[in-house]
Chain A
Amino acid sequence: MTDLERCLLLILGKRSNISSRDVLKEAKKLKICASCSDRSEVFFVGEKLLRKKLVERILKNREYIWRLSQEGKRLLKID
């Protein structure tokens, strides 16, 4: 798993059901997310993790909301 994949998982492990905007805010705080040079890489990583069924993303009005899947929670050992 890459640092950025861990970055997104850690963010969603800390805060569930958060918007893309909040994902980016959280990413700024984490050292592991530092390779996110144009910010949008975190969403590329989101695509990868969606395919791996570790995260979920839903469109609510004009915002995407992100959260860990059951599989993602299991991986992070979150009940």
Chain B
Amino acid sequence: MNTSKIRKDFPALKQRIGGKRLVYFDNACSVLKPKPVIAAVNNFYSNFGSCAGNRSSHLLGWRVQELMEEAREKAAKFIGARSEKEVVWTKNSTEGINLIAASLPLENGRNEIVLTEMEHHSNLLPFFEQSQKRKFKIKIVPLDKDGMVNLDLLDKAVTKKTALVAATHLSNVTGLVSPMDDIVNLAHKKGALVLADDAQYVVSHRENAAASRIDFLVFSGHKIGGPTGIGVLYGREALLKKMPPYNAGGGMVKSVSISGGNIKVNYLPPPFKFEAGVQHNAGIAGLGFAIDYLEYLGGEKIENYLKSLVEYVLRKLSERPEIGFMADYGKHPPSSLVSFYFRDKRISLYDFNLFLNHELRDCFIATRCGHHCAMPYHKIFNVPVSMRLSFFVYNTKQEIDVFCQALDKFLSKK
């Protein structure tokens, strides 16, 4: 991985704030944007800016339509969908999960959703909210002592009443990768569907939805270098066909009529029936270029490079007895991110975070400090707050060294 060449593609890395350069370890929240993505969004607003041709009947709209179709094809290929009909544009992963929670068919007496304690709030709360309205039951599967999905307990929880198992593919807290193949096998054996929360997964791993037989998956554009406000819901076409729309409005209907005061509506087939209103066309264009950029770097190369950074930071942090980790990383190696805490509860991670932002001479270091929208997962480890270091291809081992020096400096201030 030629990081010095890659870094030139990311203008945000060149900026100085208060004269200090940026060391960016908050990639699990949002990856910085490469030039092709910025150019694509800029190009859209500079040269297009119109609606797409599915509603606007002019040359400009038709060109926008082509851009949107190209982006959908790229997204379909990126996640291994069978066709672009299985790719629904959403705002982000959260919206995709909300759509599933609201529209998932509950058939043949299947009225239970199985989740794990590992989930991001975005993979818990949409189901919690809909469980009240749609009268389904939620079962939460406890994790094992290492913080991993416990397949035995999951097997017990999934029954002929289970409609869906929704699980994170890569934890945003620990970086642990869930055994998704096992989860799919176990769920399908009992006739349940599987939703993979791929928000953290697809940036560092090649996903193949069709081959892995995942029924639904979601990811967000901003976590792979794309614009904010655009995401993807993948769903098997046969399932999407059965599901009612989540939002309703223009651009999603074949026909609407009013007869005797009653509205009659025929919706378009998926994905369009889930895409009411004018879409985030600039975001979609940018997402297409973010996918191109990842493909250009190479999925396997990205995975291996991020793994090497994670191994390096773990080795370095493990040398410091003050540090505790959010999982047994010796047993389960994390992927692309690690989280830690101070064993001495008198030392505040929030203060260390401020230190990283204000007290270093040449740079400031951006991390994530908090519960990372996964309070139940933190509770398992009896750690309310952790600091997360998450990496992307522009990060280097030298930056990790800078972080470790800052850590030592902070800890030495007694």
Contacts and interface: CB of A to CB of B under 8 A. Distances in A.
Interface string B354-375: 1100110000000001111100
Nearest to B414: A61
Given A21-B350, A59-B358, A62-B347, 9 more contacts: A19-B348, A20-B351, A38-B373, A39-B350, A40-B353, A57-B354, A59-B355, A61-B413, A62-B410
28 contacts: A19-B351, A20-B350, A20-B354, A21-B348, A38-B371, A38-B372, A38-B373, A39-B350, A39-B371, A39-B385, A40-B353, A40-B369, A43-B350, A43-B353, A43-B354, A57-B354, A59-B354, A59-B355, A59-B359, A61-B413, A61-B414, A62-B347, A62-B351, A62-B352, A62-B410, A62-B413, A63-B348, A64-B354
Interface in B173-197: none
A24 interface: yes
A40 B370 contact: yes
Nearest to B121: A37
Contacts of A21: 348, 350-351
Interface in B363-411: 369-373, 385, 410-411
Nearest to B359: A59
Give the size range of A's interface with the partner.
Answer: 10 to 19
Given A20-B351, A40-B353, A62 B411 contact: yes
Interface string B321-348: 0000000000000000000000000011
A61 B385 CA distance: 21
- Majority-rule SS of B interface residues: mixed
A46 to B, nearest CB: 8
Nearest to B411: A62
Nearest to A42: B350
Interface residues of B, number: 20
Interface of A: 19-21, 24, 38-40, 43, 57, 59, 61-64
A20 B414 contact: no
B348 A20 contact: yes
A62 B414 contact: yes
Contacts of B358: 59
A24 B414 contact: no
B341 to A, nearest CB: 14
A38 B359 CA distance: 23
Nearest to B355: A59
A58 B369 CA distance: 20
A21 B348 CA distance: 7
Given A21-B348, A62-B410, A39 B370 contact: yes
A57 B353 CA distance: 14
B298 to A, nearest CB: 34
A21 B385 CA distance: 12
A21 B352 CA distance: 12
Contacts of A20: 348, 350-351, 354
Contacts of A63: 348, 351
A27 B409 CA distance: 29
Nearest to A22: B348
B391 to A, nearest CB: 20
A35 B289 CA distance: 35
Contacts of B411: 62
A29 B37 CA distance: 44
B414 A40 contact: no
Nearest to A47: B357
- Among A19, A57, A63, find the residue whose CB has the most chain B CB atoms closer than 10 A: A63
Contacts of A59: 354-355, 358-359, 413
Contacts of A64: 351, 354
A15 B353 CA distance: 23
Nearest to B373: A38
A47 to B, nearest CB: 8
Contacts of B351: 19-21, 62-64
